[in-house]
Structure 1
Amino acid sequence: MTTATTRPSDRRISPVFLGILAVTAVTGWATWTGSAGRPGPAVFLFVTAAWIVSLCLHEYAHARTALHGGDISVGAKGYLTLNPLKYTHAVLSILLPVLFLIAGGIGLPGGAVFIERGRIRGRWRHSLVSAAGPLTNVLFAAVCSAPFWLHALDGVPRDFRYALAFLALLQVTAAILNFLPVPGLDGYGVLEPWLSYQVKRQVEPFAQFGLLFVFALLWVPSINQAFFDAIYAILRGLGVDDIDRYCGQNLYRFWTSGDPYCSFSR
């Protein structure tokens, strides 16, 4: 098997990732029990840590799929350790999405691990490598929203429910943005192996501006409205209502004035 050519140390989970996972667990417990006193800081740390975990898993999915597709170089690069510091673009993959999360509460797609595409044979494998990352966000969204669509919210504390709703919002946003067929995003990577050489050559110079183009479009009020209407509709389809989603974002941004309605609803 392909994985046999990687060293055991190349696949050992990084202490950095385990530390982030521990922060997620501890702050999740604090949010669940209310032991932190003020719920805002605990929710902030819980959601931020869980978001970083999902970013690590997103990049790991790209790397792991590439490994099985034939690119054994991902092991030596440290991509299989889930260590965010090993990514090719650590700032784009981790820091920038976290900053966007804190500033505006949006699930920004991360950067990308460096895949040696020449080692991978077959169009389907190339497409799957690109799709693996956002599919991880889809799975994460399903897990976060599971108590809602399974109607298993009895006994779930209000603040924890709000945090899960906001996490689901972030994951759905990241999945939708990543799957857009725009150069530089994973959605285009899924389609690229099936395009002609001439089309790929024409599109290649614009790849570095793809994400900027998407965010420029989101500044257009009508497009922004339509985009988030679609996100909220998906969340409602997953059982996450507007109140839970809104109060989750409000509680996460605890340093703002807040909305007293969320403190007493249901």
Structure 2
Amino acid sequence: MADFLQVTGKTFVVFGVANRKSVAWHIAKTLEEQGATVIYSVRSEARRKSLETLLAGKPVFICDVEHEGAAERLAGEIAAAGHGALSGLVHSIAFANYAEGFKAFYETKRADFLQATAISAFSLVELAKAFKPHLAKDASVVTIGISSLLVTPDNYGYMGPIKAALESATRFLAKSFSAHSEVRFNVVGAGPLKTSASAGIPGYIESYLYAEKMTFRKRNLSTQEVADSAVFLLSPRSSGMNGTTLTVDAGLGSNYFDQEIIRLAMKPV
């Protein structure tokens, strides 16, 4: 069946493209392959400059969500550019200051926690409010979370609670928007990925390799697999899903008693 996803001719705003490895880039590329128009929002002029080749000929705007009022300014700029009603937003934005390396969670600095919360979680609320007048009645908003909020990896630190806040905010946005529209808000709960952002997490490579052994298939996710799930949530084909998290982890979260892992763990030192 042609155009199964029914996104051809629709327009989406994608936040968070940093390079070719970004989840946001894979989502945007897939939307365009399906006939959609993508408007790109990047953090800074320097980032836009670094993406000149990748995003040549595409509409690119700047919005640093760390700064209050940035979301409203962006919404106004995109509306003024005449792109019409928007069929969805992709929020693939996250930041944590790991410049001082690994720290125990109780050593988290207030400034670091609040900065990461503003950028990684509250920005979704601000963007939803700013773009509300410009969204189609049945638009879809998708953010990128993590596959489990119950795990407590030491090296992920305070980003665990912040991702929990992001997921909770998504549900509250879904409820509050339901009073006046059918705009949907959902999360893709992604397992570990090989992205530039992930590389900044202390000890991430070891965690990534361990997670791979925990998947059913013994192979970690590709970024495209996460992007495909996000595009499904952006499409009308997922119209029955709202305020939920679609977990994409290749079975990682259900494989606690993997025989290979058990053998390795019980092996005498």
TM-score by length of 1: 0.28
Higher strand share: 2
Higher helix share: 1
TM-score by length of 2: 0.28
